[in-house]
Structure 1
Amino acid sequence: MKISEIRLYHLSAPLEEPIGNALIFFPNRQTLLVEIVAGGRSGWGEAWVAPATAAAMIEGQLAHHLIGQDPTHIRALWQAMREANEGDGIMTAISAVDMALHDLTARAYGIPLSSLLGGARRDKVLAYASGPFFKPGGHPYRDFEREIDGYLSEGFRALKLRSGFNPTDDVAAAFAARRQIGNEADLMIDFNQSCTAPRSISTAALMEEARLLWVEEPVTPTDLQGYRLAARQIETAIAGGEAIMNPAGFLPFLADGCMDILQPDIAICGGLTGVGQVVALAQMHNRPVIPHVWGSTVNFHAALHLLSTLPRHRAGGQQPFPYLEYDVGPNPLLELAGRPKVNADGTVSLPEGPGLGIELDASVLEPYVVSRKIISE
């Protein structure tokens, strides 16, 4: 079995109303889906950061390492792509290719992706609602109560608020959410890189009685000193790492003990091969990994399969980690294979089919295709 084609689909799904956080608003949802074809089978991967750039990198810098090669030689291909390209900017493109190779290989073997990753330890994973999001025009928190009611009715037992608007309203929103979800659910907040360390520290201190499970991205991703300061003074666990492209980028945070929960994104940090390296580092330092999940159903299901294989980690939540980030904002790209269902116990079940366990084809993508490219011999 040899790779015969690489098909690139740049997708964009406009939203009725922009959504965002304290740093940025999104008028649409965009991603690059990568379909790798070999032996009459396809595997799917994703790069949602700068999709047009990732597509150009795959065509210009990665494709010649792949066409004609055995797709099951995943690690060898990953190393070849990594060694031939300097810098971490290539990692989103490698991530998409690596994800697709994993999906294709598992499909070729007729097994779920979780089996290829070493075997599932659980057949369902507790999901947390990643939302509500800020709204433009008027108060950004104005729909939080209504939207949280919706998440609870869907079955979610944990949620992560966007925060960082201003300390007074941030604190009020956290306490309102805690009252609304009750004492038996988990509550987290995400500053989305929007604050300085002193502001994150002072705001988190005022939120202590809301019993937060973690505080996410209290400072910008490269501010190691800020993470150190936050970790020393914030009582709640510190989470971060979604913007780190190189698995080795987690090492300084682990060495300093200033990141309690590691959140690599499979579509950013080298795919399942790269995030597998982060998992190994995390286990050496007794830290849980909870992948950041954004983009489409492809990245979502890749994270779900990976999480099914990770060990239990007791870190203060209502249940032991791992948890699955479920983007609850409006997102047609999450629904390309049907919206993932939340069970009555707040979990999402692992698909039983081969590979990612979802079926995609070009016709499903068509309404959102901005551009496409087929690369072949």
Structure 2
Amino acid sequence: MKIVDVIPHVLSPPLSEPFAFSQGWVEKRSSMIVEIVTDEGITGWGESLCHGLQPPEIAASFVQFCLKPMLISRDPFDVEVLWEEMYNQTRPFGQHGAAINAISGVDIALWDVIGRSLNKPIHKLLGGAFRTEVQPYATGFYRLQGKDHLQEGVKEAQRHLSKGFKAVKLKVGFGVKSDIEYIYAIREAVGPDIMIMIDANCAYNSAAARRILLECERAKIHFFEEPLAPEDIEGYHNLRNLTSTYIASGENIFGKTSYRHWISTGALDILQPDLMSAGGFTECKKIAAMAQAWNTMLIPHVWGSGVGLAASLQFISNILPAPLSMNPQEPLLEYDQSAHPFREELIYGAISMDNGIVKIPQKPGIGVEVNRDVIKAYRKDVFK
């Protein structure tokens, strides 16, 4: 089997109602979908993470002008060789950010090709499933223009609970006082038994984050995600063990060489690599192995279209609890509930929550089919 084409699809439709997080206003929902075509008629699909303010054209350019020429006529089963060659080629101008995002999308698509050719879901190729279903938590709680964030937050929390969610993640990072008021308002609205996480998207220094942690101790926050910038590993060390709240990060940490310092020095309670950003299956499997060696919890970050969601479920299925036991602490699924024009439609609505759980797709590859009509409807022709 040989690769005959690598196609980066840039999808970036505007939102009917923009929303804000701590770093700015999100006007579009963007994805960079990678399609790999083989000479045997098998096609694989992957996705590169596009943060709210990240132009998808950047990762697409890496694929089109750098990675694609390396991949044509190669065997997709040489997936680890290809990963290392792609990383080595981009090392002088990559190592982090969009370069690894692009490699991630390609790697996921390669594994999808392999799974489809062998008629096996990817979790089987990774070594099997520790679980066939996972508890999701609802990600959302973004700010909307001209609306009261406390009232909207309470209404959104109640909406998620009515759907069966038992856990929610709040967007914070809008000021210490405002965040504390918001957290307690949601806790009061949902009661004591619902799991609450908070995510500041790198909005604070360690002093401000410390105040939030201490003053919100009674709110019983499960984990505090990205309170600080990823450059501030010392600050993360300072926040650990201040309260019972776990400290989590990893969305902006890329590849095994970056993760090794965070893992080996014990900077975090929970590691959050994103499959679409940290290197795809090939690299995230190695990050998971390092996490296991240091007995550190791993809960992947997930924020993309249905392609990324399906692929992430394959990865989550294979993650070892930390540690394995009769009643282990299982990983969770970040299940984005914010506005997205094509998230479910892209995969024919193949993934959903039922009775508070999401099942791992069992079909070959990433476990879902891709709706080409959706790609055609939203695709931008950036490489004419």
Please give the per-residue CA displacement for 1:137-192, whole angstroms capped at 9, x wherever unaligned. 35444411111111111111111111121223312221222233233221111111
Residue 45, structure 1, aligned to residue 46, structure 2: yes
Q: Distance in 1 between matches of 2:47 and 2:373?
A: 17
Deviation at 1:132, TM superposition (A): 1.4
Distance of aligned partners of 1:129 and 1:319 in 2 relative to their CA distance in 1, 3 Å threshold: farther
Checking the alignment, whether the CA contact within 8 Å between 2:347 and 2:371 is kept in structure 1 is no
Residue of structure 2 equivalent to 1:341: 352
Q: Distance in 2 between matches of 1:236 and 1:15?
A: 34
Deviation at 1:242, TM superposition (A): 0.4
Q: Distance in 2 between matches of 1:196 and 1:142?
A: 28
Q: Distance in 1 between matches of 2:286 and 2:78?
A: 17
Please give the per-residue CA displacement for 1:332-362, whole angstroms capped at 9, x wherever unaligned. 2321114431111x21111121111111142
Residue 88, structure 1, aligned to residue 90, structure 2: no
Checking the alignment, whether the CA contact within 8 Å between 2:292 and 2:320 is kept in structure 1 is no
TM-score (norm. length: structure 1): 0.93
Alignment of 1:228-243 (within 5 A): 228-243=237-252
Checking the alignment, whether the CA contact within 8 Å between 1:189 and 1:212 is kept in structure 2 is yes
Checking the alignment, whether the CA contact within 8 Å between 1:134 and 1:141 is kept in structure 2 is no
Checking the alignment, whether the CA contact within 8 Å between 1:7 and 1:373 is kept in structure 2 is no
Residue 353, structure 1, aligned to residue 376, structure 2: no
Alignment of 1:198-277 (within 5 A): 198-277=207-286
Select the residue among 188, 196, 201 that pairs with 1:192: 201
Q: Distance in 1 between matches of 2:28 and 2:150?
A: 20
Q: Distance in 1 between matches of 2:271 and 2:158?
A: 29
Alignment of 1:1-377 (within 5 A): 1-38=1-38, 39-49=40-50, 50-86=55-91, 87-89=94-96, 90-313=99-322, 320-335=329-344, 336-339=346-349, 340-344=351-355, 346-371=356-381
Deviation at 1:48, TM superposition (A): 3.0
Bigger CA drift: 38-47 or 130-139?
130-139
Q: Distance in 2 between matches of 1:113 and 1:332?
A: 27
Name the SS of the counterpart of 2:146 in structure 1.
coil
Q: Percent identity?
A: 34
Question: Which amino acid is 2:136 matched to?
Answer: A
Please give the per-residue CA displacement for 1:42-76, whole angstroms capped at 9, x wherever unaligned. 11111133421111111211112211111111111
Checking the alignment, whether the CA contact within 8 Å between 1:11 and 1:371 is kept in structure 2 is no
Deviation at 1:99, TM superposition (A): 0.5
Q: Distance in 2 between matches of 1:97 and 1:364?
A: 20
Deviation at 1:301, TM superposition (A): 1.0
Checking the alignment, whether the CA contact within 8 Å between 1:20 and 1:135 is kept in structure 2 is yes
Deviation at 1:203, TM superposition (A): 1.1
Structure 1 unpaired stretches of 5+: none
CA RMSD of aligned residues (A): 1.9
Q: Distance in 2 between matches of 1:137 and 1:371?
A: 34
Distance of aligned partners of 1:356 and 1:207 in 2 relative to their CA distance in 1, 3 Å threshold: same
Name the SS of the counterpart of 1:280 in structure 2.
helix
Q: Distance in 2 between matches of 1:30 and 1:42?
A: 22
Checking the alignment, whether the CA contact within 8 Å between 2:313 and 2:361 is kept in structure 1 is no
Checking the alignment, whether the CA contact within 8 Å between 1:110 and 1:354 is kept in structure 2 is yes
Bigger CA drift: 250-259 or 135-144?
135-144
Q: Distance in 2 between matches of 1:319 and 1:187?
A: 19
Deviation at 1:314, TM superposition (A): 6.9
Please identify runs of 4+ aligned residues in structure 1 that moved more than 4 A: none
**Paired positions, count:** 371
TM-score (norm. length: structure 2): 0.92
Name the SS of the counterpart of 2:343 in structure 1.
helix
